[in-house]
Structure 1
């Protein structure tokens, strides 16, 4: 009964989290049509990129299977050639003995024991030939099956490649559309004062978002704190992605300071969770693009922004090292990079003090 009650509480809480994420528009109101369009394009781009990555994985699986089938065909052809050679030798030997040899042996009863031994030999010899023929037939059937499977795999591979090419065209169009929108936004914020105001407003909205998410998830996450709390992991956490830190915690930026770190890495790189926790936000957010927020316990959470694609949904529980996104340049960024924060009760902390020292 207690377990059922807990399950019901969990479902209710996850529904609250999802509802909050869906209705977060009050914190994420767009001030102009350009930002709304940027959100649409970057979400579409992220979905397309994720689909392409899945297709690439399927293409690799298909190609590996085709290679395996080709190896099996080569082995079968080699084995078949050996069997055919052995059968040819048997036929040649039988021919040398002569077709009437068995009949002669039956008529010649001078040495009954010798005749019996030779007749037994003939039976074994004929049985061996029959078995050899059966093996050859089975091998030929297997080769036919392998060739058919190879053809099917090649057709499936061709279909996946065609789908991938179509998605690549869509990505090119999305990039061009995004570039046009960014130029429009840049023109809108040409005035430095407007740009400063925009950055401050984005940060203010993020704080409000985190506060609301924190309130909703407080009770549930508190019941699932692991024996080793997040605070004991200070200095031991793995970084979410390999790359170069180009903006450190506390560095100056327009309108204030960086509350986290900006890591430069290859676009499409896998981004992983730094510790066990629950995804409490996974969506596009103005100024931060495709954003993931993970709650680790009642005090701590981590943020991952500017992503290309999102791989987790609100309510999902993740472990350290689980893939949650791919690195990108969403949120209106010109260059690919990951913006990464760690917070304690909505207070930013220096990630360098929490993650392992970089070599």
Structure 2
């Protein structure tokens, strides 16, 4: 674990620079961030390889959890595109109706003018020109006929323009309809894939539980998982200690005690400090039971310090809030933020799930100060069922 703090420290030190420097060296900063993420991924792989207790069942579960996360995010993207496409199609169809009505009105006006012109006839204009008794009327009538002719020509041009717009709109509608059909096909395919992955995951969870039961190592793994998380948080805490507490922070986290909103809606099924069965361990956070796929929100502004799969916690996201405060979100179905990203209070960061071997969907939520767990109920107001992020 010794390499981990150094890498994260490089990342955070490269991120806390003045806006002027950032704008002048944005490409270099982007390269540094990409390189750092690659190195963290490589480090995670090496750390995983060192864990002798990692089993085939665990690797299978981690792989499936990650695939489900990828599929769920792609499905959400497709759903967003479908929703946007439907709105665009509805707008195009409304424009088409408007232009069709305009076309009808202009046709009626033009037909009326043609009938009027036909009724007046060319003979009336010739009689006016030969009328020697009212020479002033001749000029006025010629001006009128000229205006009438130009107005009729303008209406014809306007009618042609409407027809062109209708033709373009029809093409756009047909194109959008085809796009929506393709998106619906993609969505159906991803829904099927997600269902298949969930079936594979259920089998992987069952295999893992069977393997632990055979070895009688469930308690050993529970303790190892807790120690691993503690080691990760401690390492992050050490390297973040030198970073200014107010960097990117609108309000110090310590002043938010009792005023935080819960990260999701649900029921508190496990409470802070309660015994974890007969393991001799206690809950370091809370477990909020809620339907799969629900949104998880950041409880406060901060920077993502960790976003990956961890045994016992599944897809885990950790946000650093400065001054030694961190919030942890585990068992997610999908993570929507990456290491180094800033998040705002209430911003969606993940969706609820069962990753890490859970059979019931929900969110594992922790708050820590200088590495030590603190009771979320003393920091969040009300109950999760009444105060979603």
The reply to whether TM is greater than 0.5 is: yes
In structure 1, the residue corresponding to 2:300 is in which secondary structure? coil
Among candidates 113, 117, 120, match of residue 90 of structure 1: 113
For 1:69 and 1:234, the matched residues in 2 are separated by 50
For 1:94 and 1:6, the matched residues in 2 are separated by 73
Deviation digits for residues 295-316 of structure 1 (CA, Å, limit 9, x no counterpart): 1113110100000111111111
* Equivalent position of 1:300 in the other structure: 325
Which stretch of the first structure deviates more once superposed, 283-292 or 228-237? Answer: 228-237
In structure 2, the residue corresponding to 1:100 is in which secondary structure? helix
Deviation digits for residues 147-193 of structure 1 (CA, Å, limit 9, x no counterpart): 11111111111121111122122112211211111111121122694
Among candidates 254, 257, 277, match of residue 234 of structure 1: 257
Within the alignment, does 1:270 sit opposite 2:304 as a pair? no
Within the alignment, does 1:357 sit opposite 2:382 as a pair? yes
Give the alignment's TM-score, normalised by structure 1: 0.92
For 1:79 and 1:225, the matched residues in 2 are separated by 54
For 2:230 and 2:35, the matched residues in 1 are separated by 22
* Equivalent position of 2:200 in the other structure: 177
For 1:14 and 1:100, the matched residues in 2 are separated by 84
Residue-pair matches, total: 357
Contact 1:263/1:338 (8 A) holds in 2: yes
In structure 2, the residue corresponding to 1:239 is in which secondary structure? coil
* Equivalent position of 2:370 in the other structure: 345
* Equivalent position of 1:148 in the other structure: 171
Cα gap change, 1:15 to 1:302, in 2 (>3 Å) = farther
Q: Root-mean-square deviation (CA), in Å?
A: 2.5
* Equivalent position of 2:228 in the other structure: 205
Query: Mapping of 1:83-122 within 5 angstroms?
Result: 83-122=106-145
* Equivalent position of 1:245 in the other structure: 268
Among candidates 191, 200, 207, match of residue 168 of structure 1: 191
For 1:305 and 1:181, the matched residues in 2 are separated by 19
* Equivalent position of 1:45 in the other structure: 68
Contact 1:261/1:341 (8 A) holds in 2: yes
Q: Measure how far apart 1:19 and its partner are.
A: 4.0
Deviation digits for residues 57-109 of structure 1 (CA, Å, limit 9, x no counterpart): 01111110000000000001111100100111111111111232212211222
For 2:289 and 2:18, the matched residues in 1 are separated by 45
Give the alignment's TM-score, normalised by structure 2: 0.85
In structure 1, the residue corresponding to 2:207 is in which secondary structure? helix
Structure 1 gaps, min length 5: none
For 2:342 and 2:237, the matched residues in 1 are separated by 16
In structure 2, the residue corresponding to 1:266 is in which secondary structure? coil
In structure 2, the residue corresponding to 1:187 is in which secondary structure? helix
Deviation digits for residues 191-218 of structure 1 (CA, Å, limit 9, x no counterpart): 6942222211111111111112222332
Within the alignment, does 1:23 sit opposite 2:43 as a pair? yes
For 2:170 and 2:158, the matched residues in 1 are separated by 18
